Amino acid sequence: MFRAVSFLFWVSHFLYVPILSPCLESLGGTYAWIGLVLSSYGLAQCACRVPFGIFSDLVKVRMPFIRVGLAIGTCSCLLFALTDSLGWVLVSRSLAGVAAATWVAFTVLYSRHYPDRDVHRAMSSISFVVVLAQLTGMSAGGYLVNQWGWHAPFWLGTMTAYSAAVGDGDRTHSP
CATH of the domain at 41: 1.20.1250.20
The mean pLDDT of the chain is 91
Contact residues for 58 (Cβ-Cβ < 8 A; gap 6+): none
Domain count, the chain: 1
The model's pLDDT over 69-80, given as tens digits with 9 standing for 90+, comes to 999 999 999 999
- In the prediction, which pLDDT does 174 show? 46
Those residues of the chain that have pLDDT short of 70 are 168-175
Angle, CA of 13, 112 and 122, to the nearest 5°: 60
Helix 119-148, helix 103-111: angle, nearest 10: 140
* Alpha carbon distance 27, 174 (integer Å): 43
Q: Which amino acid is at 73?
A: G
pTM: 0.89
- In the prediction, which pLDDT does 119 show? 85
Q: Which amino acid is at 15?
A: L
Alpha helices in 27-118 (DSSP H): 31-59, 63-82, 86-101, 103-111
Range of the domain at 88: 2-173
The model's pLDDT over 92-119, given as tens digits with 9 standing for 90+, comes to 999 999 999 999 888 888 888 888 888 8
